[in-house]
Amino acid sequence: MKVGVIGSTGAIGTAFIKRLLAAHADIEIHSFSSKKQRPATHVIHHQIDYNCEDSIKAAAQQAYSDRGFDMVLVTTGLLHNGDALQPEKSLRDLSAEKFQTVFQANSILPALVAKHFLPLLRTDKRAVFAALSARVGSISDNRLGGWYAYRASKAALNMILKNAAIEMARRHKKVIILGLHPGTVDSDLSDPFQSNVQEGKLFTPDYAAQKLLHVIKNASPNDSGKCLAWDGQEVEP
């Protein structure tokens, strides 16, 4: 089994790798991040520049070699960045710079990863491309407002994945493309907002990875293009 994990130094990316290593003795994992990582058994690390398409393309080709991927997981995401970037509470908080930063991380990067990694998936058997999305990207489920850039960027990601699923299905019926909602995970991304989380709804990265891998395992080609939550339920568009 050959797996690519983009965003491998984040909380959920790290948890995915640990879970996959424990479950598959013969696995080959290619991890991708902007940070350097120490070599590990069954894990080959590639350092990439998330803001440079040529870097993403080069890393994908380097990892491909002569063997296609069984699974590619995109686990990157951006909600805040200290005082420099916080989720907007109202229209007066909007800025072009914030939108560009958030969309670059949450929409453009996964789209470019899909561009260069989807052609490298195996086509002779079932293969999965999945990217972390969020329930707040659902337009029909939005009842609170706010978080303009983050909500919009995740809605855009869901549309990108839907488009890619339609395109891939024309040529490769066994490829499954998913958005994944992990719930609220105890990570740097959610840390400033955890006081508002209901008891029992703050998941560890390991629990989220376990549940999402179960969702991936049970997904069929009929699910391709959907955004599925950690409990297997579809997130409303």
Give 234's strand partners: 228
- List the domain range (segments joined by +) for residue 152: 2-96+123-195+224-229
User: What average pLDDT score do residues 167-175 get?
Assistant: 96
Higher confidence at residue 191 or residue 112?
A: 112
Indicate the number of domains in the chain.
1
Q: Which residue has the tokens 């989380």?
A: 197
In a domain, 111, yes or no: no
User: What average pLDDT score do residues 36-53 get?
Assistant: 93
β-strands 127-132, 175-181 pairing: parallel
Which CATH number does the domain housing residue 162 bear? 3.40.50.720
In a domain, 57, yes or no: yes
In a domain, 80, yes or no: yes
Sign, Cα dihedral of 157, 236, 17, 204: positive
Tell me how far apart the alpha carbons of residues 39 and 203 are, in angstroms, rounded to a whole number.
28
In a domain, 215, yes or no: no
In a domain, 103, yes or no: no
| Contact assessment for residue 114 and residue 128, using Cβ atoms and an 8 Å cutoff | no
Tell me how far apart the alpha carbons of residues 127 and 163 are, in angstroms, rounded to a whole number.
17
User: What average pLDDT score do residues 173-190 get?
Assistant: 94
Q: What is the average pLDDT value for the chain, to the nearest integer?
A: 95
Tell me how far apart the alpha carbons of residues 123 and 174 are, in angstroms, rounded to a whole number.
7
In a domain, 133, yes or no: yes
The pLDDT tens digits for 143-162 are 999 999 999 999 999 999 99
